[in-house]
Structure 1
Amino acid sequence: MSKEFEIAREFEVDASPEEVWEAVTRATGAYLWPMDPPEPRVGGAAAFGSTVTAWDPPHHLTVRSEDVGFSVQSVNQVEHVIEARDGGRRAWVRYVHSGIFTDDWDNQYDGAAKHTDFYLHTLRAYLTHFAPRPVTFSSADGPEASATREGLAAVGAALGLTDGDAQGARVTARGPREFDAELDYRDPYFIGLRTDTALVRIFGRGVWGAPVGISVHDFAPDADAKETGAAWQDWLNGVFDQP
């Protein structure tokens, strides 16, 4: 049965409205993933077949699609409202994701809401620590064996994280290579690691029936997307004993 949904979040960040606008419109993969940037006009094309319905830089952006192409969703809309704070040195952001889920409403809403919190945390981390540095993006998806409620815990253990490592802790992670990082996000669904040059994002999607995913937003000037993606893919396969 079709039913509307709305996920609204508000936050402040140590960035100007112009910096926030650049982050959400450049679509380089700095905090989400590479995608088609929106055409800078009302009626312009945007990512995934959506259309720009509000364009007022650097204050208001809305993109909407009424032909989403997902079996469980028919309408999708994302809105950003951005206002200056402290004379333009900070920004207040209101983010609203809305639309219509056509099936499995509770599960779809739960997944979308929890992903929203993680994505917006990553946006703030990017703006605070890395903007406007160029990014190299890579990703890896775990095997089907990782699509369980225990999948994220297995990845955390393989990284060397303990139950006592809370958000904000400094850790030495055992990924494809050892690296020092801040555990900048941790809950039962996601793990975020921030180094001096990268954001590593781990998605424990087993609770929603999907495999673990890893994305790496690398701001080092010599970053190699293909090499990084392959290294994390091999490591992730090894966690779940897959060739």
Structure 2
Amino acid sequence: MDERRYLAKEIELSASPEQVWQAISTPEGMSIWFVPHESADGEIEADFGGGNTQAGQVLEWEPGRRALYGTPGPDGEPAMTFEFLVEGKEGGTTILRLVQSGFFGDDWEAEYDGFGKGWDMFLHNLAEYFRHFPGLPVANVVATGFTTLPGETVWARLIAQLGADPAPGERVRLTPEGLETIEGVVDQRDRMLLGIRTEHGFYRFMADDLHHMVSTVQYFYGVTVDRAPRTARWQSWLDRLTGE
């Protein structure tokens, strides 16, 4: 009996198969909608902020159609795999399918729920990128704070520090202390998720009770961003937020 559990996602994108393939098969493409990626010596490394990085390898590769990535386990077999399938449709759209296999720990139902919501957010980013910023390069800012506080407590602090608790579709002006003002439209909203689409990209804020962390992932398209100092400022802001 196969004990490996998996989740599957599917999204139709207003883009050609070539554009979607580029977005899921290159570090530059993955950075556009996911988190910053770099490749070296056969490994691909994803940066989730706050010193939290994850490395993996390409396990299987069918150019233009299918890519399978995996993270190594203690026995040499992949502990977790991510399969992307690209299929063109009539009318110029493309179907992207994602299958994630393998979960950590014993609380797999909570992990399944958490990963599922995370993929929903990131795939939404990809759809919105093709809709609003197609072809533009990205500059990412990612920061993550870790805490022993309950997620609801940290989330309430984050909302208070942003200066607004907006509803989906609402135009908002956020004023985090010591940081840039954020003006845009709420394009994602959940219990502990807030997404803002601005003139030049996306701001994403989320809290994760399972992994005891709170994060922001930011995407700036076609503009110059001084990433290192901006990342440091946001990391400091989250570290203050998660302090007890």
User: TM class by shorter-chain length?
Assistant: 0.7 to 0.9
Note closer, same or farther for the CA distance 1:168–1:178 as it changes in structure 2 (3 Å cut).
same
Structure 1 segments unaligned to the other structure (5+ residues) = none
Matched, 1:123 2:129: no
RMSD: 2.8
The answer as to 2:64 corresponding to 1:58 is yes
Query: Within the alignment, does 1:77 sit opposite 2:81 as a pair?
Result: yes
Q: CA deviation at 1:235?
A: 3.3
Runs (4 or more) in structure 1 with deviation over 6 Å come to none
Closer, same or farther: CA 68–122 of 1 in aligned 2, 3 Å: farther
CA shift in 2, pair 1:194/1:99, >3 Å = same
CA distance in structure 1 between the aligned counterparts of 2:187 and 2:210, rounded to whole angstroms: 23
Deviation at 1:86, TM superposition (A): 3.1
Give the TM-score normalised by structure 1.
0.81
Offset, 1:203: 1.8
Correspondence for 1:217? 219
Offset from partner CA, 1:102-155 (integer Å, 9 cap, x none) = 433223222222212112112222232223212111222235266532222321
Distance 1:139 1:240 in 2: 16
Counterparts of 2:89 and 2:74, CA distance in 1: 35
Structure 2 Cα separation of the partners of residues 68 and 117 of structure 1: 29
1:177–1:94 CA distance, 2 compared to 1 (3 A): same
Report SS of the residue matched to 1:131: coil
Q: Is the 8 A contact 2:173 2:181 kept in 1?
A: yes
User: Which is strand-richer, 1 or 2?
Assistant: 2
Tell me what 1:173 maps to: 174
1:36 matched to 2:42:
no
Structure 1 match to 2:48: none
Deviation, 1:220, is 4.3
CA contact (8 A) 1:148 1:209 kept: no
Percent pairwise identity: 27
| Residue in structure 2 matched with residue 140 of structure 1 by the alignment | 143
- Structure 2: unaligned runs, 5 residues or longer: 46-53
* Pair 188,55 (structure 1): closer, same or farther in 2 beyond 3 Å: same
Residue equivalent to 2:201: 198
Counterpart of 2:237, as a letter, is W
State the secondary structure of the residue aligned to 2:187: strand
Which range is displaced more, 121-130 or 17-26? Answer: 121-130
In structure 2, the CA distance between the partners of 1:183 and 1:38, relative to structure 1 (3 Å rule), is farther
CA offsets per residue over residues 170-193 of structure 1, 9 Å max, x none? 111113122311111110132111
The aligned runs of 1:82-97 (5 Å cut-off) are 82-87=86-91, 89-97=92-100
